[in-house]
Structure 1
Amino acid sequence: MPLVIPGIQNTAGGDGQDWESKLMGKRLGDSHDEVTFAKSDLPQEHRVIKPDSMSTMDHKPERINIHVDEEGTVKKVVKG
């Protein structure tokens, strides 16, 4: 099993804080602009969680969980 050192080696999906800084306050859409982030540029292991939606409680270290509000604006980004 390889040794993974946070901040030294990058794992699939990148650091959750990196994604938080890229996504917070933006909407997810088909292309990039000042207020939109392209869905096609998200890591393969991601899920968008809408208010009042159900999601599994399984932990996947490489997955990015993107919480959005009713209008689709990103409010929280959690890795796992």
Structure 2
Amino acid sequence: PSVEHRQHKGLNNRAENSHQSTRVRERRMRRFKSPGQAQRFLSAFDPIRGHFHPKQHELSTKRYQEELRQRFEDWREIACLKVAA
């Protein structure tokens, strides 16, 4: 019939697949002593992380490098960091 059966383990489990982003976040939280500490750090860190991870799959290598260079330059300016000459 028109039913597609995917062979790889876990691909047919919709419930697990819907929680993948939660699993990634849980893995990050393992290193912290308390859930509160992890939550405070991740709530501050996630927006910063997004700044340094442009959508690489949508950009050419050259454009990705230019984008990253510009983002780090912006970050140095915001954080008042001096570049070692």
TM range, smaller chain: under 0.3
Q: Give the helix-richer structure, 1 or 2.
A: 2
TM-score by structure 1 length?
0.24
Q: Give the strand-richer structure, 1 or 2.
A: 1
Larger RCO: 1 or 2 (CA < 8 Å, sep 6+):
1
